[in-house]
Structure 1
């Protein structure tokens, strides 16, 4: 068994992929696992040793400078056999580790060069140049990692051309975490929900507008991207039908999904979205909830193959409203789609299958 250290600057100890899936799975498999990260460790991950780091002042600049250095130094102190990191801003420190002969895994959660193209805090005229420079650097670093783990097959294809030890560990849900309760009467479910980061490019405005057009209610659960966005949404027609609850705990998320008609996951057609696999899509499915999703070809292929929801143009509030109205008016169809999604998760889209791929990567890197 290996001594494994996960480390991150951008995520917190409650992170589902890093802590509750990857670190916990490795610890339960018998590895000695630690996580260097901000925040408090979830109670069900007590088998993972927690090295807590305190972020410096300075916001994004502090994260990219001082916090990275603190996390790097704390990770080195763990004297691990394998270092597994999760943020692109840690690539320079990972290269230092490799130069010192340490075994390092890069976990690529996002297609970062394409993600940069949608970053509103970067001046629009500079995004393409920054994305290009970063891609060259990321490719250089990826070739030198002991292994690369990716969160989607699309990202896996890119890194597979750079590093022969690339494996895709899909970020699918744990089968039982959000499992639906025993089915009750059709009247038990009402309203719609969206769980996740709330931002303009995740159709925040369009979802609120759809409430006005459909007459349906919507629960928004998750952090607002900015205070300005919250003020803008409150001025949109349809906000009176929205219940904004902020960030919820996992048990609260499960309760919300159990009471909703369907879950919305409506990302704009940005370069980093079209080929992504949003965790929320599969979490809704795991909860036995039909989905109303963006009509990207890859998403549409999944939703239509398993008949687990409706795909629409995420930029069209009328189309979103039409899907909401259709599912609210036909509870039997909604229940059938929800059951189909739940079955697909049990058979294919679940973490219990994916964790074995990760454990094989650790075995390969440790040999």
Structure 2
């Protein structure tokens, strides 16, 4: 079979097709630069559109233990394809990559796109029993590196990941997860009360209850004159979450919106005054430059974030936000009140963040590295 050097098969058996990094950034970037992209990902009920050079195949959502059916399907599809390049977004698909490489050898190139450092993440995965997390993380470290030797390139979404793979002899490229943002007709929309926003996965480790505790403290200090819009898929017990909101009578102040299309979150950013990023100090989070920080910068939102060293450095250097102890809701509430009391400081921080985004933290800089891998 003659391989088409302009064809890329991109696959995820874990992420929904609307995942911001793989669909709105990588797949669309490659398609708009002349590559023919076949993109396989989990189906999700959202507005679908036809994009030149981008062919979508939607995989049925299944339980974790059933995903092996997707691996088999993807392997068969890839064997039939005349694509030169294969791009995998999940560590579990390294099993497919190995089988594909053994079959097709140097006819093809394989890129592994590492979204998180899995061995570190395993240590805090709530669905994994605590007693086996450490030994499992060690085992996964060995297996992952062995399987990655079947790849030609590994893409790191964070600079810190590379340090764990120095011994691997393959091309390593940092393609950081900075936002895509079109500032055409961008204008902040002032609301009638202070509005805070968070966009991201909702779990304990991502700070969902820290935000709610902050809301409780603000309700007492501001007589309820604030809004908190929380947007993202809920990966914790929803009944317990709603019970907390009802117990503390936060229904008028806090709204959970669920997963939302990337283009729609910017409407909420336009209406917000402060962006929240209250991540817990887990091994994975400590080394993470959370994408939401840079989305907030793009949207000219001052930021309140966890007092991680890297977060302190980014927000202090660019003077675009404040950090605090996320386990002390009173301290966080005082930060909010301090920022709300000084409108000029709010505006200056928002403007400073936007300048930093335009210079350093935007997808336009990163997409050049992605395109270079295939050109």
Say yes or no: TM over 0.5: yes
Alignment partners' CA distance in 2, 1:180 and 1:193? 21
Kindly provide the CA deviation profile for residues 112-158 of structure 1, in whole angstroms up to 9, marking residues without a partner as x. Answer: 00100011111100000111100101111223311100101001232
Q: CA RMSD in A?
A: 2.1
Alignment partners' CA distance in 2, 1:262 and 1:99? 51
Match of 2:222 in 1: none
Alignment partners' CA distance in 1, 2:358 and 2:247? 39
Kindly provide the CA deviation profile for residues 304-358 of structure 1, in whole angstroms up to 9, marking residues without a partner as x. Answer: 1101111112222122212211222222111111111111111110111100101
Alignment partners' CA distance in 2, 1:291 and 1:163? 39
Range with bigger deviation, 202-211 or 164-173: 202-211
Say which of 216, 233, 240 aligns to 2:244.
233
Q: CA 1:233–1:75 in structure 2 vs 1: closer, same or farther (change >3 Å)?
A: farther
Q: CA 1:279–1:205 in structure 2 vs 1: closer, same or farther (change >3 Å)?
A: same
Say which of 18, 40, 54 aligns to 2:22.
18
TM-score, structure 1 normalization:
0.91
The question of whether the paired residues in 2 share the 8 Å contact of 1:36 and 1:74 is answered with no
Alignment partners' CA distance in 2, 1:356 and 1:310? 31
Whether 1:68 and 2:77 are equivalent positions in the alignment is: no
Alignment partners' CA distance in 1, 2:308 and 2:327? 12
Query: How far 1:189 sits from its partner (Å)?
Result: 6.6
Say which of 213, 232, 240 aligns to 1:222.
232
Q: CA 1:154–1:236 in structure 2 vs 1: closer, same or farther (change >3 Å)?
A: farther
More helix as a share of residues: 1
Match of 2:261 in 1: 249
Whether 1:33 and 2:43 are equivalent positions in the alignment is: no
Query: How far 1:92 sits from its partner (Å)?
Result: 0.9
Match of 1:358 in 2: 370
Please state whether the residue corresponding to 2:205 is helix, strand or coil.
helix
The question of whether the paired residues in 2 share the 8 Å contact of 1:152 and 1:169 is answered with yes
Match of 2:135 in 1: 129
Whether 1:258 and 2:270 are equivalent positions in the alignment is: yes
Alignment partners' CA distance in 1, 2:306 and 2:115? 20
Alignment partners' CA distance in 1, 2:193 and 2:271? 5
Alignment partners' CA distance in 2, 1:183 and 1:256? 10
Alignment of 1:1-367 (within 5 A): 1-39=5-43, 42-43=48-49, 45-56=51-62, 59-63=63-67, 65-100=68-103, 101=105, 102-176=108-182, 181-182=186-187, 190-215=194-219, 216-226=226-236, 227-235=238-246, 237=248, 239-240=250-251, 241-363=253-375
The question of whether the paired residues in 1 share the 8 Å contact of 2:199 and 2:232 is answered with yes
Structure 1, unaligned runs of 5 or more: none
Alignment partners' CA distance in 2, 1:36 and 1:252? 23
Number of residue pairs the alignment of both structures matches = 358
Q: CA 1:181–1:135 in structure 2 vs 1: closer, same or farther (change >3 Å)?
A: same
Please state whether the residue corresponding to 1:338 is helix, strand or coil.
helix
Q: CA 1:221–1:183 in structure 2 vs 1: closer, same or farther (change >3 Å)?
A: closer
Alignment partners' CA distance in 2, 1:116 and 1:311? 26
Alignment partners' CA distance in 2, 1:187 and 1:235? 24
Kindly provide the CA deviation profile for residues 163-216 of structure 1, in whole angstroms up to 9, marking residues without a partner as x. Answer: 340000001001316x783357x6667311111111111121121111121234
Q: CA 1:23–1:249 in structure 2 vs 1: closer, same or farther (change >3 Å)?
A: closer
Q: CA 1:120–1:274 in structure 2 vs 1: closer, same or farther (change >3 Å)?
A: same
